[in-house]
Structure 1
Amino acid sequence: MKKIRVGVIFGGRSGEHEVSLRSAESILKSIDRSKYDVVPIGITHEGRWLASKNAIALLPAKDAIQKTLTTGEAIVFPAEPAARGVVDVVAGVLGSAVGMDKDVMKRLLRDAGLPVVDYWTVRQSEIDSFAETRFSGLPYPVFVKPANLGSSVGITKVHGPDELRAALKTAAEYDRKIVVERGVDAREIEISVLGNDDPIASVPGEIIPSREFYDYDAKYVDEDSRLLIPAPLAEEKVKEAQQMSIAAFKCLECSGMARVDLFLEKSSEKLYVNEINTLPGFTTISMYPKLWEASGIPYSELIDRLIALAIDRHAEKNRLKTKY
């Protein structure tokens, strides 16, 4: 049987470059070489593209592309492979772009009737005026985040007005747009979603961070953070979280895969959609594949399913009329 050629794209000009390399390393080790002709494609911090052996040197196509670029690069590439008849494993242009921008994402989720935590959007040029006029009226603590970055890069928990300006400037080092989000005393629940038009949701997982919040070091450096899989939730709350995650996936026109991050407020037991990550970490210890493993889909099979979903989606698009 002819092998499917799969390009694994990784790296890129992003604060999440290292996470992408780790994800690619796991995929390249686990993908079934008897089914796939694998072509590694690396992108340096400077934006230089490297193929095959040169790409492998970065690590510690035609039938399908498995992207591990993480959110910083998601918007750049999906359009071109589709235009050339190349199948793309991750979400398309719309899902990737919306999933990358926390502000736009939250607006769409809210307009669809899904609960999101109160937040404010600040542009780089508005930092001083926001810090001066809104500092006393914010419901501290708040979280200050770059709008277009993941892995908790550039995020600060702000406990009071005197910390606000510095946090805004830290976030502005990574993005022109900043999200200031009301802090909630909540459990952090995550669910993996897989599929196209009829997606399925994994069992939920819960993050018990070793630090005040689940920052980059807590995710990738410390060994003290704990992941509870499955999360200890009542059956009805599990169903609610899964339904909410699938609704968020559909609302943002996602396809293939996404990880939905939820807050479960401790005082009210209310669930909020925090964000949706259309290019979640894909190392063997990342939450997305671990949740599927706990749901009965091992890592190598998950790769197979994602490639099959991409091929199905591409075939469906090819049946559409392009002339009239």
Structure 2
Amino acid sequence: MEKINVMVVFGGKSGEHEVSLMSAASILRAIDKEKYNVIPVGITKNGGWRICDCTIDEIENGSWENEQNQLLDTKLNSKPKISLLPSEKGKGFQIENSQVKKIDVVFPVLHGPFGEDGTIQGLIEMLDVPYVGAGVLASALAMDKGMAKKILEAEGLPQAKYILINRKNYFKDKIDCINLIEGTFNYPVFVKPANLGSSVGISKAKNQEELKLALEEAAKYDRRIVVEEFINAREIECSVLGNEDPIASLPAEIIPSKEFYDYRDKYFDGTSQYVIPAELSEEMISKVREMAIRVYKLIDCSGLARVDFFVEGETNRILVNEVNTMPGFTKISMYPKMWEVSGIPYDQLIDKLIQLAIERYKDRN
């Protein structure tokens, strides 16, 4: 049986570059080499594309970026190259020492802007090649917390109260913006960039001075800022897998080691605890799973997503927090952990995602 050529793309220009390297390394170690021929392609922090003829450890620690194997014309350099120009329908290809090799599937293991927001998905659509994960629309919607909240609101799904602040307006008239926030919420509040993932740029503000710092921190990352009410709640996550008929995993509960589950804790410190399945009643677990699938379908997800919830302490209300269409795939990431407990091991999960990508492509065509 001929192997399937899978181009695994990682790195990228976002602030989640290092997380992407960790996710990609985990996938590259676990993917079935008997079934798949893997073509690792890294995107440097400044946007350069490279085929990585190196070890998985060098990908994970970032040293691959120092290699001089940039994707140049084959006449100028004998190192492996790649062409992202579509040759003919469904024939995305790799050029390796002047040999053309078809790319069967792209696995974009990219987190945050320029990877999880629909941009690279649009590029791959133009190449007319199957790819793992959500399409352009779902990727863009899930990445934009402001727009996602508006859609959830329109569908009557419960969520924390929020307002959107424009960065330009904030710096133009800080007093008006502060008054608007303080007139809408009591402290504490959460402040986050609208277009970013993995808790980057998120702050919890307990007073006006902290609010000003939080707004300026979020403004470093995006021109739109989301301010949310504080919910005294448990943090619950649920993994979803599939295309037209998705399934939901057993949910997990995150028990943060700090005031909230931040970027370092998610991917580097690993000091937070988690419980899978979450210690909820069977009825609550069923509701979380049903709501996760409803949200997944609402924004037209495919392949995979992790849907995050709050379960309010006093009322047990389930509130939607956000959707991640390319959740972390590191060894301590919750998406694969939930599926492992639900009966799908890591290597099988990778296989299912690739098959879902091919299925979706055939369905669309």
Which TM-score band applies after superposition, normalised by the shorter structure? over 0.9
Q: Quick one: distance in 1 between partners of 2:237 and 2:324?
A: 10
1:181 aligned residue? 228
Deviations 1:57-81 (A, max 9, x none): 4432511111111122222111222
* 1:13 Cα deviation after fit: 0.7
Residue 127 of structure 2 is aligned to residue 84 of structure 1: yes
Which 10-residue stretch deviates more, 229-238 or 105-114? 105-114
Amino acid at match of 2:31: I
1:284–1:299: 8 Å Cα contact kept in structure 2?
no
Q: Quick one: distance in 2 between partners of 1:221 and 1:21?
A: 13
Q: 1:136 aligns with which of 182, 192, 202?
A: 182
Deviations 1:181-205 (A, max 9, x none): 1110000000000000110000000
Q: Quick one: distance in 2 between partners of 1:25 and 1:58?
A: 7
Q: 1:53 is paired with a residue of what secondary structure?
A: coil
Q: Which runs of 5+ in 2 are unaligned?
A: 62-92, 94-102
Residue 23 of structure 2 is aligned to residue 23 of structure 1: yes
Residue 241 of structure 2 is aligned to residue 194 of structure 1: yes
1:122–1:130: 8 Å Cα contact kept in structure 2?
no
1:135–1:164: 8 Å Cα contact kept in structure 2?
no
Q: Residues 1-324 of structure 1: matches in 2 within 5 Å?
A: 1-53=1-53, 57-60=58-61, 62-72=103-113, 73-74=115-116, 75-127=118-170, 128-137=174-183, 138-318=185-365
Deviations 1:100-135 (A, max 9, x none): 100001111111121111001011112215444224
Amino acid at match of 1:59: E
2:304–2:353: 8 Å Cα contact kept in structure 1?
yes
1:98–1:104: 8 Å Cα contact kept in structure 2?
yes
Q: 2:265 is paired with a residue of what secondary structure?
A: helix
Distance 1:54 1:123, change over 3 A: farther
* 1:27 Cα deviation after fit: 0.3
Q: 2:186 is paired with a residue of what secondary structure?
A: coil
Deviations 1:184-235 (A, max 9, x none): 0000000000000110000000000000011112212324210111111100
Question: Cα RMSD over matched residues?
Answer: 1.4
Amino acid at match of 1:165: K
2:257–2:272: 8 Å Cα contact kept in structure 1?
yes
Q: Which runs of 5+ in 1 are unaligned?
A: 319-324
Q: Name the structure, 1 or 2, with higher relative contact order (CA <8 Å, separation 6+).
A: 1
1:11–1:21: 8 Å Cα contact kept in structure 2?
yes
Q: Quick one: distance in 1 between partners of 2:182 and 2:121?
A: 42
* 1:297 Cα deviation after fit: 0.1
Amino acid at match of 2:136: V
Amino acid at match of 1:63: D
1:172–1:178: 8 Å Cα contact kept in structure 2?
yes
Q: Quick one: distance in 2 between partners of 1:173 and 1:250?
A: 32
Amino acid at match of 2:182: S
Which 10-residue stretch deviates more, 124-133 or 69-78? 124-133
Percent identical: 51
* 1:303 Cα deviation after fit: 0.5
Q: 2:182 is paired with a residue of what secondary structure?
A: coil
Amino acid at match of 2:307: V
Question: Which has the higher Rg, Structure 1 or Structure 2?
Answer: 2
Distance 1:114 1:136, change over 3 A: closer
* 1:52 Cα deviation after fit: 2.7
Amino acid at match of 1:93: V
1:40–1:55: 8 Å Cα contact kept in structure 2?
no
2:201–2:218: 8 Å Cα contact kept in structure 1?
yes
Q: Quick one: distance in 2 between partners of 1:316 and 1:221?
A: 39
Which 10-residue stretch deviates more, 121-130 or 228-237? 121-130
* 1:169 Cα deviation after fit: 0.4
Q: Quick one: distance in 2 between partners of 1:96 and 1:187?
A: 26
Q: 2:123 is paired with a residue of what secondary structure?
A: helix
* 1:84 Cα deviation after fit: 2.0
Distance 1:111 1:135, change over 3 A: closer
- Number of residue equivalences: 318
